[in-house]
């Protein structure tokens, strides 16, 4: 273990009592002073969402059980924007086992109901960014549940591209859909994700 217990305790004490914004700034400062090994370990074992789930970083909880936690995003797309995540450190959905995936989306859906009912939302967006190119900026699986209202100016629009040879495309995907994933990780998912350099791993920074 590169990042010693003492070092972690020191980081925690440096963050204690700070406001969310100050905490974010301080953490960025601490990370910039770390060695590459330490940063890697921070990414894998001590990422922000792991720290939140361990109670080492304060967040406003909306749900918690033994395996999952959901908190309010501190820089929400709309007020009430919730981030749901597994307590175990998975980088992307493709690494999670089937059972956990079911649980994750069951809970996401229930939180969505809470948002509809409790915040009078007129719609929700529930989504996951897998990988940095998809806009993910924290190396931990996060499900975003965003309350939506008419004219709230949040945009998920894109310019449609041409779809050529749909049958061939579909075949390529179908041939690689795993039947039963369980604990097995998918090779390419691992390779692609391990190449990713997450340069910002904070919740609520306006990314996903």
Number of residues binding to Zn ion, judged by CB under 5 A: 5
* DSSP β-ladder status, 143-148 and 61-64: unpaired
Whether 115 contacts 121, CB under 8 Å: yes
Question: Which among 38, 58, 68, 25 has a CA at the least distance from the CA of 205?
Answer: 25
Question: Which among 95, 52, 78 has a CA at the least distance from the CA of 189?
Answer: 95
Q: How far is the CB of 105 from Zn ion (least distance, A)?
A: 19
For Zn ion, the closer of residues 50 and 69 by Cβ is 50
Whether 80 contacts 121, CB under 8 Å: yes
Binding flag, residue 89, Zn ion (CB under 5 A) = yes
Span interacting with Zn ion, options 58-66, 89-97, 108-116, 154-162, rule CB under 5 A = 89-97
Binding mask 135-174 for Zn ion (x = CB under 5 A): -----x----------------------------------
For Zn ion, the closer of residues 100 and 148 by Cβ is 100
For Zn ion, the closer of residues 49 and 202 by Cβ is 49
Distance between CA atoms of 133 and 83, rounded to whole angstroms? Answer: 19
**Of the candidate residues 50, 51, 145, 193, the single one contacting Zn ion (CB under 5 A):** 50
């Amino acid at each position: 273990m590169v990042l010693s217990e003492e070092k972690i305790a020191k980081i925690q004490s440096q963050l204690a009592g700070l406001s969310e914004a100050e905490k974010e700034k301080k953490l960025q400062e601490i990370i910039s002073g770390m060695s590459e090994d330490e940063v890697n370990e921070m990414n894998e074992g001590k990422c922000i969402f792991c720290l939140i789930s361990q109670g080492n970083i304060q967040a406003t909880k909306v749900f918690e059980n033994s395996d999952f936690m959901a908190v309010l995003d501190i820089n929400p797309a709309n007020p009430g924007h919730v981030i749901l995540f597994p307590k175990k450190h998975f980088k992307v959905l493709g690494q999670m086992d089937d059972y956990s995936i079911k649980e994750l989306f069951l809970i996401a859906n229930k939180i969505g109901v809470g948002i509809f009912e409790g915040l009078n939302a007129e719609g929700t967006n529930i989504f996951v960014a897998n990988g940095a190119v998809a806009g993910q900026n924290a190396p931990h699986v996060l499900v975003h549940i965003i309350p939506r209202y008419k004219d709230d100016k949040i945009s998920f629009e894109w310019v449609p591209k041409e779809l050529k040879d749909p049958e061939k495309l579909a075949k390529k995907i179908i041939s690689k859909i795993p039947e039963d994933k369980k604990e097995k990780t998918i090779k390419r998912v691992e390779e692609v994700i391990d190449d990713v350099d997450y340069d910002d791993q904070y919740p609520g920074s306006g990314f996903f």
